[in-house]
Amino acid sequence: MKRIPILLLLIVCLQSQAQITWTDDLVLTPERSNFDKTSTYTDVMNFITSIKGKSPYIQVTTIGKSPMGKDIPLVILSNPAVSTPEQAKALGKPVIYIQGNIHAGEVEGKEVLMMLMRDILLGTKSNLLDNQVILFLPIYNTDGNDKMAKGLRPTQENSPLETGERENGQGLDLNRDGMKMEAPETEGLIQHVITAWDPQLSVDLHTTNGTWHAYSLTWAPSYLYAGEPATYHYTNDVMLPSITQKAKDNYGLFFGPYGDYSTREGWPLKNFYTYNHHPRYIVNQFGLRNRMAILSEAFAHERFYQRIYSTYVFVYEILDHFNKHGKEISRINHEAELAAIKNVVDGAGKVKKGVRFKMVPTAQPLNGFRTYDYKSFTKADGTRTLLKTGNVVTYDNVTYYGEFKDTVQSTVPRGYIIPAALSAIAEKLIKQGVKVDTISKTETLSGEVFNIDKLNRATRKFEGHLMASAEGSFEPATHTVQKGDFKVDMAQPLANLIFYLLEPQSDDGLLTWNFFDIYLDQNGVNTKPVAYPLFKYFSWPEAAKSKKGKK
C-alpha cells in the first residue's frame, strides 16, 4: 500500500513535465501495471503506430528482421520531417542515435524512449528537434524481449516481475557482436544506422548486473585507445561531467562513472573497475569510427520505476546537450577523422599503435565515491565475512581502473592486401562500411608479413567461438599482388577500425574470432610456422611514382 503513492507521484511528475493529455493508446505497459510489467514487442509496435498518427514529425522504418522474423523498428524524429539519410544530410542537422533493449532483460531504455517520443512529439520537449535529427531504436533485441520469465534478472529485485532474455534469437549476446557481426541485428545496425545515417553521437541503454554502489546511474564513454583521442576526451571530460552535474543540481540524482568492485578485496573498497575496452561492445566500436558514444547503466537494485526515471533524466540531458552542442561535436568528430587519415598518409611504415591493451588506473582517484556500506560479520562457524548494510557512505581515494594502456603495438601500414581466395574477409569489411578495391593489375609491394609460430585457441566457446590469438613476429618482405586480390587502403575514415580488425595480434580482430582458422589449419599452423595471409604494404607504386613526379 505504501508503494502506490510513490508510483502515482512519479507519473504525475512526468505528466506535468510534458503537459500532455495522454490517450489510452499512449499509456505504456509499466504505467498500466503499477510498474510490475514491461512492454512486449507488440506493445512497442502498437505504441509506435499510434503516436505516428498523432504527429507530422515522426517517420518509422526498419533496420531489418530479427532471426525470428520480427521487424526491428527505427523511429526518426525531425522537424521538418525526414525519412532518409539523404534528407537528413540536406537538412544540415547532426544526427543522434539512441537504442534500448540490446539485452532484453534490461528494459528501462525501451520504456524511456517511448516516453520521450510522447514528450517530444506531443509535449513540451519539442525544442529538442530544433537542432538535431533523433533516431530512436527502442527494442533492438526483439526476439529476446518476448521470452519473458521470472528470475532472469535476479539483481533487479524482481522489478519488473518478468523480463526477457539477454540473448537474441540465435542465442548471441548482441553486445559482443560488434566486430564479428554475425547477427542480423548487428548487420542492420551497422549498415542501416551507423553507415547510412552517420550519427555523431550514439547511446546504448543498459542496467547493471548488481554491484551495490549508490549511484542511480553510471556511464562510460567509448573506450578505444587505438582510436583518435579527441572524441573520447570530449565525451569523458566535457559532456558526461556536465550532464552528471545537471542531474544532481536539477533532479537530486547521483550519476557517476561505470564500474564494479569486489568485496573479496576487503573493505572499505580500494578499487573500482570499468568494463573492457574491446570494440565487440557496440559503444566502444564508435571510438574506432571517429564518433562519440555513451554507455548508460541504470542501477540494478533500485525499483523499476526509479530506474526508468534516472534513465529518462540521463537521456533527456544527453539530447539537450546535443541539441545545443551538436555542431561542435560534429566538428570534433570530423577533425578526428582527418587525423586518422593523416596518421596513415604521413606515418605509414613508421608509427605504431596499440593492438592489445590492459586496464590501468586513471591519474586521479575517485573522491566522494558513493556506495552501500559493508560491516564485518562473524558466522556461526567462526569465520568472518562482510555483510551489506542499508547505509550509504562515501569514500575518497578510490583507485579507478578506467583507462587502458597498450601491451602490444604494431606498425601502421598504408594498407592491406587480401588474397582473392579470402573474399569473405573483404566482404566482412565492406559490411562494416570499409572501402575495399579489387586489384586490376599485378604490382610488387614492399612491407611486412607476420609469421605465426603458434596459434592459441580457447578450450571453451565464447559466443560460439574458440577465441584465438597468434604468437609470432613481423619481418620485412616484398609481395606481388595478383589481379583479383583485394586492396584496403588505410587512408580512409575507418582507418582505425580496419587496423583493429586486420592486425594479426589484435585482441578483438577477425583472427580473434576465427575468421582465418580454416586457412591457417589447411596450411598446417599446428605443425609449422605459417605466414598470416594478409600482407601489410607501406606504399603503393603509383602513389610513389606520382610523388616522385611532383618533385
Secondary element (H or E) of residue 377: strand 369-378
Q: Taking a C-beta distance cutoff of 8 angstroms, is the pair 132, 202 a contact? A: no
Q: Which tens digits make up the pLDDT trace of 490-513?
A: 999 999 999 999 999 999 999 999
Give the pLDDT band (50/70/90) at residue 291. very high
> Looking at the predicted structure, is the pLDDT value of residue 311 above 90?
yes
Closest Cα partner for 515 from 423, 451, 452? 423
Question: Quick check: 160 pLDDT over 50?
Answer: yes
pLDDT at position 20 is 57
C-alpha 115/C-alpha 315 separation (Å) is 11
Task: Report phi then psi at 132, rounded to 5.
Answer: -155, 155
Q: Measured between alpha carbons, how far is 126 from 20 in angstroms, rounded to an integer?
A: 12
Q: Are strands 530-531 and 437-438 parallel, antiparallel or unpaired?
A: unpaired
* Angle ∠(225,229,235) on CA atoms, nearest 5: 105
Q: What is the pLDDT of residue 226?
A: 85
| Closest CA relative to residue 220, chosen from 228, 210, 208 | 208
Number of H helices, E strands in the chain: 16, 21
Whether residue 278 contacts residue 224, with contact meaning beta carbons closer than 8 Å, is answered with no
Q: How far apart are CA 129 and CA 239, in angstroms?
A: 19
What is the band of 63 on the pLDDT scale with cuts at 50, 70, 90? very high
Cell output for 27 = 499509456
Q: 3-state SS of 344-404?
A: HHHHCCCCEEEEEEEEECCCCCECCEEEEEEEEEECCCCCEEEEEEEEEEEECCEEEECEE
Which residues pair with residue 361 across a beta bridge? Answer: none
382 Rama class: left (phi>0) / alpha (psi -120 to 50) / beta: left
Task: Please give the single-letter amino acid code of residue 48.
Answer: I
Pairing of strands 403-411, 352-360: antiparallel
**CA-to-CA separations, 278 to 178, 223, 258, 335, 509, in angstroms, rounded:** 9, 8, 15, 23, 10
Cα dihedral 227, 233, 234, 238, rounded to 10, equals: 160
Contacts of 366 (CB under 8 A, 6+ apart): 256, 257, 272, 396, 397, 398, 399, 400
Q: How far apart are CA 208 and CA 109, in angstroms?
A: 13
> What tens digit of pLDDT does each residue of 350-377 get?
999 999 999 999 999 999 999 999 999 8
pLDDT of residue 3: 44
Average pLDDT over residues 213-237: 95
Whole-number average pLDDT of the chain:
94
Confidence band for 543, pLDDT divided at 50, 70 and 90: low
**pLDDT level of residue 255 (50, 70, 90 thresholds):** very high
Q: Which domains does the chain have, with CATH numbers?
A: 3-342 (3.40.630.10), 359-404 (no CATH), 410-550 (no CATH)
**pLDDT of 162 over the 50 cut:** yes
Q: Residue 12: pLDDT band by 50, 70, 90 thresholds?
A: very low
| 70: nearest Cα among 168, 159, 211, 164 | 168
| Lowest model confidence (mean pLDDT) among 51-55, 147-151, 381-385 | 381-385
Closest CA to 324 of 75, 93, 16, 109: 93
pLDDT of residue 547: 46
pLDDT (tens digit, 9 = 90+) per residue, 425-437? 999 999 999 999 9
pLDDT band with cut points at 50, 70 and 90 for residue 48: very high
Task: Please check the confidence at residue 236 and state whether its pLDDT lies above 60.
Answer: yes
With bands split at pLDDT 50, 70 and 90, how would you rate the model's confidence at 225? confident
pLDDT(102) > 60: yes
CA distances from 505 to 104, 490, 527 (A): 33, 18, 20
- Nearest-angstrom CA–CA distance, 188 and 184: 6
Can you give the length of the chain in residues?
Answer: 551
Cell matching residue 423: 573474399
- Rounded Cα distance, 185 and 357, in Å: 28
Condensed to tens digits (0 to 9), the pLDDT of residues 426-485 reads 999 999 999 999 999 999 999 999 999 999 999 999 999 999 999 999 999 999 999 999
pLDDT (tens digit per residue) in 382-407: 898 999 999 999 999 999 999 999 99
Residue 220 pLDDT level (bands cut at 50, 70, 90): very high
Q: What percent of the chain lies above the pLDDT cut of 90?
A: 91
